[in-house]
Structure 1
Amino acid sequence: MTLEYPDDLKYLDSHEYVRLEGEIATIGISAFAVDQLGDIVFLELPEIGDAMVKGESFGTVESVKAVEDLKSPVVGTVIERNLAMIEAPEQLAEDPYGEGWLLKVRLHDLDVEETLSADEYRQLVEGE
């Protein structure tokens, strides 16, 4: 199976992605992370209004194999949670970059310099 890494996203080496649209960031986990986790059974996300701190955990994703912390690529405030993914986390595997987003965050700081481009992320995960 060939995994995709859309060029319009920025990635963390911990496998989260961020899509920037003005001062709104959409955050999710990469197809690679979904593939490595296997069957995802539970998703814990922050509440609307919660603060996001770059590099800090904002929730967990649990599969039959492991529980992994989710790390924030941005500084901001949660403005939307993807309730469909919370209720049916197994659907993350179907469309991690589209319907499978996790959070929308209003940015307090537009700096995402510590993120990786799609090519850099592809090299990281395909070299593992």
Structure 2
Amino acid sequence: MDERAAADRMVVGVDGSPQSVAALRYAATLATALGASIEVVTTWSYPPVADSPMLADWDPAQDAARALDATVAEAFDGDPPRSLTRAVVSGGAAKTLIERSAGSRMLVLGSRGHGGFVGLVLGSVSTACAAHAKCPVLIVH
């Protein structure tokens, strides 16, 4: 991707949580106003027990892609913006989003995702991204 295209891109991290759906909707409103495209990103990784025979037929990348598609469908009632692209990436969420923030117009996240503890105000991914992203970060509550 060239630098200009990256600078006109808003990266949105999603995990299927209600907060990530809200973040995606908010990002779409901003992207329209700013003339930016939207890159929706979700991540996956193998759990420590991935060698278990019970998990032999499990494909976490495919599960992540389904979760991303479901999040996009929910956010836009099945009619996503034409400028929206999707990325399913292997690796940690915070590290991946921080890397993708380089040169982007903005990184948009929900305040909490599926992980963590219910009592936390901000999740670990949004906290790490707010501290280390290479572009402005919007955390949607």
Superposition TM-score tier, normalisation by shorter sequence: under 0.3
Q: TM-score, normalised by structure 1?
A: 0.23
Structure (1/2) with the larger strand percentage = 1
Q: Which has the larger radius of gyration?
A: 2
User: Under a length normalisation based on structure 2, what TM-score does the superposition of the two structures give?
Assistant: 0.22
- The structure with the greater share of residues assigned to helix is 2
